[in-house]
Structure 1
Amino acid sequence: MNYMFLIVIIVVMFGMMFWQSKKAKQQQAERQDFRANLQPGTEVITIGGVIGKVVSVDTEYEEIVIDSEGSQIRFGFNAISREYVRPAYVHDDEVDENGNPLSTDSTDEDQAAQEPIEGEIEAAQTETEQKNS
């Protein structure tokens, strides 16, 4: 019984090692493909947080030159983290206190549909008064 449990644990450990190794190789291939296809004009971010546009790529020495607000900086390929995508700006007036977006598609017709009709309220009140008497 104890040997069977030990064998199962060893098989699970080898399975996890194989899966992680496969995933790491896939990520490495994606990074190499990204770096190989870098073209001037692509906006990138480095592992240090520098954001800029690619000016030139030197595949022989694995170097890349980035222009960041007028300053040109040379980096190694390994310093490039990913392509930079600027997040969308959301004004504070467009979200509630929890950061959830406010509904912007409400119209006057929707608001009118939410308001109760006075005649219905009076009829409901008289019905409840008659039941209580």
Structure 2
Amino acid sequence: MQLLAVPMASSGGSGITLLLPLILIVGMIWFMSRTQRKQRARQAETVAALSPGTKVITTSGLVGIVEETDDEYVTLEISEGVLVQVVKAAVGRVVPDDDGVDDADEPMIDGTAKDTVDVPHAGKDKADGKVQDAPKLPPTHTEN
């Protein structure tokens, strides 16, 4: 018995076949870095525009009003008389004002604000004012 080595047929497009995935990977890396650069620039603009009286949310979820800023830190008032100093990079976003509308300016209907809704007996027991548990659903199967 004699075995012969036969050369494999070449498709001719092997260079393109190897180059296409490489081009796609490089393109994806470029696009992701471009997006990150835009986010960093937006964050830098937000931090640069901080001024006293601005309401902000930090990246950890802390909400406060800017009291003062310096080169590295921002002092936030998180409650009346409670000041916290955080790094400027920790400021996540600025909370927009409520379009200058005060709650006192809202029209009142029968002594209540327009947006309030009266829900009678909303989950409260009449007798002692405690909240009742939610009603339980019947079992969906029987146990044997």
- Residue number among 34, 58, 62 corresponding to 1:46 in the alignment: 58
Residue of structure 2 equivalent to 1:21: 33
Whole-Å separation in 2 of the counterparts to 1:24 and 1:6: 28
1:54-93 to 2 correspondence within 5 Å? 54-59=66-71, 62-70=72-80, 71-85=82-96
Change (3 A) 1:57 1:5: same
Segments of structure 2 that go 5 or more residues without pairing to the other structure are 1-12, 99-114, 119-144
**Cα distance in 2 between the residues matched to 1:58 and 1:14:** 40
Task: Please state if 1:11 is matched with 2:23.
Answer: yes
Fraction of identical pairs, as percent: 25
Using structure 2 for the length normalisation, give the TM-score. Answer: 0.55
Query: How far does the alpha carbon of each residue in 1:43-69 deviate from its partner, in whole angstroms, 9 at most, with x for none?
Result: 00011111010000002xx10000011
Query: What is the aligned partner in structure 2 of residue 110 from structure 1?
Result: none
CA root-mean-square deviation: 2.2
Q: Which residue does 2:134 correspond to in 1?
A: none
Q: Deviations over 1:76-128 (max 9, x none)?
A: 011111112489xx8789xxxxxxxxxxxxxxxxxxxxxxxxxxxxxxxxxxx
List runs of 5+ in structure 1 lacking aligned partners. 94-133
Q: Distance in 1 between matches of 2:116 and 2:44?
A: 37
